C-alpha cells in the first residue's frame, strides 16, 4: 500500500450512489478481462449530475482530454454517505480503473466501504469534518496514509482523518483474500 498519495482533488457532494459511480448500462463489461477493465475507468462517475461534478465549481469533467480511460484525479473528496444505493461491487472497481487511489468522505455506505477494502481497490478515509467546503476540485492535495492526514498544498491547510485501524493490514496486503493468505487463514493460491 502506498504511504502517500498526492495529486489534484476531485470534489463531490453528499449521497453519491453506486449508480452514479458506474451506471448500470456499463455493467455488461467483465473486470477480469483487461480490455474491459479499462472501460470501467472510462465510465467511472458517468452518472454524476453536472451540478454535482467537481463541486463547488460544478460541471467539471472527471476525465481529462488526454485520456478517456484514466482520470487525472487520484483523490476524491466527498460529503456524506459516499457509495450508497445498491451493493454494486463494480463501483470501487470503476474508480480504481480510473486511477483513483483514495476516497475521503465524511462517511461511507457500509457495503461500498467493505467492497473497496475487501478488493483492495481504494483507501477509504473518513473525515471528522466537512472537507468539501474547504477543498476545491483541482487543489493539489496529499494524503499521508500512515499519519491519517490530508494536506491541501494549494491552501496550506492540513486536516486529520480518522485512522484506518484494522483495515490497514487488509489494504496493505492488497485485499481480503491476499490478507487471509498472508495470515495463514487460506492456503496459498486459492480464492484469488
- CA dist 140 to 63, 74, 156, 157, Å? 17, 10, 10, 11
The pLDDT score that the predictor gives to residue 66 is 81
Residue 86 lies in a domain: yes
* Cis peptide bond prior to 183, omega within 30° of 0: no
Residue 47 lies in a domain: yes
Looking up cell 499519519 gives 147
Tally of domains in the chain? 1
CA atoms 60, 116, 175, 144: torsion sign? positive
The pLDDT score that the predictor gives to residue 8 is 96
Residue 39 lies in a domain: yes
What is the grid cell recorded at 169?
493490514
Residue 187 lies in a domain: no
- Give which of 99, 131, 97 is closest to 13, Cα–Cα: 131
Residue 93 lies in a domain: yes
Helices and strands counted in the chain (H then E): 6, 7
What is the grid cell recorded at 47?
452518472
Residue 189 lies in a domain: no
Query: What domain range includes position 91?
Result: 4-182
pLDDT tens series, the chain, 192 aa: 679 999 999 999 999 999 999 999 999 999 999 999 999 999 999 988 776 776 666 678 898 888 899 999 999 999 999 999 987 889 999 999 999 999 999 999 999 999 999 999 999 999 999 999 999 999 999 999 999 999 999 999 999 999 999 999 999 999 999 999 888 888 766 555
Assign residue 120 the CATH number of its domain. 3.20.19.10
Amino acid at each position: 500500500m502506498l504511504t502517500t498519495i498526492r495529486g489534484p482533488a476531485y470534489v463531490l457532494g453528499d449521497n453519491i450512489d453506486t449508480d452514479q459511480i458506474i451506471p448500470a448500462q456499463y455493467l455488461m463489461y467483465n473486470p477480469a478481462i483487461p480490455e474491459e477493465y479499462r472501460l470501467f475507468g472510462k465510465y467511472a462517475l458517468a452518472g454524476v449530475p453536472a451540478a454535482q461534478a467537481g463541486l463547488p465549481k460544478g460541471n467539471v469533467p472527471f476525465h481529462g482530454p488526454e485520456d478517456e480511460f484514466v482520470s487525472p484525479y487520484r483523490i476524491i473528496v466527498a460529503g456524506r454517505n459516499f457509495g450508497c444505493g445498491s451493493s454494486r461491487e463494480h463501483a470501487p472497481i470503476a474508480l480504481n480503473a480510473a486511477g483513483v487511489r483514495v476516497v475521503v468522505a465524511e462517511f461511507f455506505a457500509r457495503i461500498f466501504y467493505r467492497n473497496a477494502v475487501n478488493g483492495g481497490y481504494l483507501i477509504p478515509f473518513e473525515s471528522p469534518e466537512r472537507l468539501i467546503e474547504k477543498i476545491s476540485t483541482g487543489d493539489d492535495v496529499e494524503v499521508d496514509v500512515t499519519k491519517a492526514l490530508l494536506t491541501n498544498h494549494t491552501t496550506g491547510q492540513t486536516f486529520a482523518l480518522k485512522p484506518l485501524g484494522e483495515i490497514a493490514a487488509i489494504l496493505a496486503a492488497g485485499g481480503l483474500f491476499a490478507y487471509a493468505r498472508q495470515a495463514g487463514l487460506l492456503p496459498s493460491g486459492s480464492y484469488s
